[in-house]
Structure 1
Amino acid sequence: MGDTESTSGPHATDSAFHALHACHAFPEGATAPRPPAPPDCPFCELPQERYSTHYDGHWVLLEPRIIVPAHTVPPRRRWIITPDGAAMNLWDAEPLPGTWCRIAHRTVCPCLQPEDSWPWTTMLRQENERRAQRLFNLPEDWGLPGTG
Structure 2
Amino acid sequence: MGDTENTTPCPDRPDDALQAALEGATAPPPPAPPNCPHCGLPQDRYPTLYDGHWVLLEPRIVVAAHTVPPRRRWILTPDGIAWNLWDAEPTEGAQCHIAHRAVCPYLPPEDDPLWVTALRQKNNRRAQRLFNLPDDWDLPDTG
TM-score by length of 1: 0.82
Aligned mate of 2:85, from 90, 110, 130: 90
Q: Does residue 74 of the first structure (1) align with residue 39 of the second (2)?
A: no
Partner of 2:28: 33
The runs of at least 4 consecutive aligned structure 1 residues that moved more than 6 Å come to 144-147
Question: Is the aligned partner of 1:127 residue 2:113?
Answer: no
Q: Which residue of 1 aligns with 2:51?
A: 56
CA distance in 2, matches of 1:35, 1:74: 29
Which residue type is aligned with residue 78 of structure 2? Answer: P
In structure 1, runs of 5+ residues without a counterpart are: 1-12
Higher strand share: 1
- Identity between Structure 1 and Structure 2 (%): 70
Aligned to 1:4: none
Residue-pair matches, total: 133
Which residues of structure 2 form unaligned runs of 5+?
1-8
Partner of 1:116: 111
The Cα of 1:131 is off from its aligned counterpart by 0.3
Amino acid at match of 1:99: A
1:22 is paired with a residue whose SS is helix
1:23–1:146 distance in 2 versus 1, CA, 3 Å: closer
Aligned to 2:34, the other structure's residue is in SS state coil
* Partner of residue 46, structure 1: 41
What is the aligned-residue RMSD (CA, Å)? 2.1
SS in structure 2 of the partner of residue 83 of structure 1: coil
Give TM-score scaled by structure 2 length: 0.85
1:47 positional shift = 0.1
